[in-house]
Chains A and B, each alone.
Chain A
Amino acid sequence: MVVGVLALQGDFEAHCRVLRALGADCRLVRTPQDLDGLDGLVMPGGESTTMTLGIEREGLAEPLRELARSGKPVLATCAGMIMLDRDHLGVLDMVARRNAFGRQLNSFESDLDLSGFGETLRAVFIRAPWVEDAGEGIEVLAEVDGHPVAVRQGEIMAVAFHPELTGDPRVHAWLVERIHAAERAREAA
């Protein structure tokens, strides 16, 4: 199983550490060629402006869109969530409001109930976005202050926090499990 992690900028190495611990191979994605043959993808945290410019510079927008729409499992965190919204790659039917909680002084961590993930998990929000204007296809998995901070649409899950920074592998395990499920479906077919 090879999971790609967009590595233009941001905390992509933290994602790779979690994925490797779960038994997945990790490939850093910096150009469209790096997307060939991936089983799943992570859009990491980082600076969304930097990442947007990088995606443009590398000609990655269309290939990333294709991969996400092909039904391959995708996990996006923080800036990655922003990349997938209607104003950026247009893969998720919602808008992510950047820096919604304010400047770094308002960054925080708290326990969060993530629907379908068992006991609460520790969520780290760093200059985080929240979700606005979610369409009908968007399932909200968690909220803070009445704003969605974790959503799922088909095989794509996007969270405003950083599961890669806490050592709790449950969110990444979801991605790995969805990839296994896709493999099983292919074999059955």
Chain B
Amino acid sequence: MRDTATFRVKAGLAEMLKGGVIMDVVTPEQARIAESAGATAVMALERVPADIRKEGGVARMSDPSLIEGIQEAVTIPVMAKARIGHFMEARVLEALEVDYIDESEVLTPADEANHIDKWEFKVPFVCGATNLGEALRRIAEGAAMIRSKGEAGTGNVVEAVRHIRLITGEIRRLQSMDASELPTAAKNLQAPLDLVREVAENGKLPVVLFCAGGIATPADAALMMSLGAEGNFVGSGIFKSEDPERTAAAIVEATTHFEDPERVARASRGLGQPMAGVEIAALGENGLIQHRGW
């Protein structure tokens, strides 16, 4: 008896990606560069977040032919993004047999009240979160992997740090509580009590936690690992840098050797200019995409 799409099988692929870097790519050529640099997976999309931010307009699921071109170019897992709540885009991505679907705030949300019911899918989902409650709500909806959101397309790691610190800090707080305090904690987190109990007991999320949004240098990647990320998503940071090949390989190396500053230093040497990056304050409240999702 062969069981496909069990939660263990879905969450298990994320286990295999741990300690690695998942890179945004917009062409088959970029996908090959990412694979040759040691990416554990690629995220196939039409525009990297920095360009979505600059060009504006509605950001949607990518053209299937672009995703298929990238699937043919590499043998590592290929992920693709659907808009929040857009279960039809997700069904299309499942029909394309992508390996993971990212229900992503980087695209323009399609439903401002509901996320996709991810249990109904065979393909696993990764979702963004800015805090523990949000992460547990996504897991309750069926997400098999979580990434902290950060502020995508900025090359500025400050929001990613805020979110991973919030998530790990809230986990530590749950661990210090006794059983009778957990129902109130669940209420305050707006998260299911059974998941809150599980986190309190194990001291970690029930699925793999990666970090995303603003990682642009090897030191950024190592910082996020030191703060408790189990791997990194790097979007604009690679192909908006001066030397994408070397930057990609360097971020992979720093993610592996995050506990060894000499290795992070070696990886950081002579990479040329990283992506330019922007101040979060300059974006204004309406320019923040991390608040998409609920």
Contact = CB atoms under 8 A, between A and B. Distances in A.
Interface residues of A, number: 36
Nearest to B255: A9
Contact of B12 (A13, A105, A106, A107): A107
A98 B40 CA distance: 14
Contacts of A152: none
A47 B41 CA distance: 8
Interface stretch (B17-25, B84-92, B130-138, B237-245): B17-25
Nearest to A110: B2
Interface string B9-47: 100110111111000000000000001111111000000
A119 interface: no
A50 B20 contact: yes
B12 A8 contact: no
A50 B13 contact: no
B20 A47 contact: yes
B267 to A, nearest CB: 10
A53 interface: yes
Interface in A67-126: 78-79, 98-99, 103-111, 124, 126
B193 interface: no
Contacts of B36: 53
Contacts of B63: none
A164 B41 CA distance: 22
Contacts of A8: 19, 256
B123 interface: yes
A105 B4 contact: yes
B277 interface: no
A39 interface: no
Contacts of A98: 75
Contacts of A45: 15-16
A165 interface: yes
A6 to B, nearest CB: 11
Contacts of B9: 107-109, 124, 126
A111 B2 CA distance: 8
B19 A10 contact: yes
Contacts of B252: 50, 53-54
B40 to A, nearest CB: 4
Contacts of A54: 38, 252, 256
Contacts of B40: 9, 46-47, 50
A13 B202 CA distance: 14
Contacts of B5: 105, 107
A53 B38 contact: yes
Contact of B18 (A9, A53, A107, A111): A9
A186 interface: no
Contacts of A46: 16-20, 40
B123 A105 contact: yes
A45 B77 CA distance: 14
B95 to A, nearest CB: 10
A124 B123 contact: no
A79 B40 CA distance: 12
A109 B6 contact: yes
A126 B16 contact: yes
A105 to B, nearest CB: 5
A110 B76 contact: no
A99 B19 contact: no
Contacts of A103: 97-99
A89 B41 CA distance: 23
Contact of B17 (A12, A47, A124, A165): A47
Interface in B135-174: none
Given A9-B20, A50-B252, A124 B4 contact: no
A111 B1 contact: yes
B233 interface: no
Interface of B: 1-6, 8-9, 12-13, 15-20, 35-41, 75-77, 94, 97-100, 122-124, 252-253, 256-257
User: Which 7 pairs of residues, A with B, have the shortest CB-CB distance?
Assistant: A104-B99, A11-B15, A47-B40, A9-B19, A53-B38, A9-B20, A108-B4
Given A9-B20, A47-B41, A127-B77, 14 more contacts: A8-B19, A9-B256, A11-B16, A49-B76, A50-B20, A50-B40, A50-B76, A57-B253, A98-B75, A103-B97, A103-B98, A105-B123, A126-B15, A165-B8
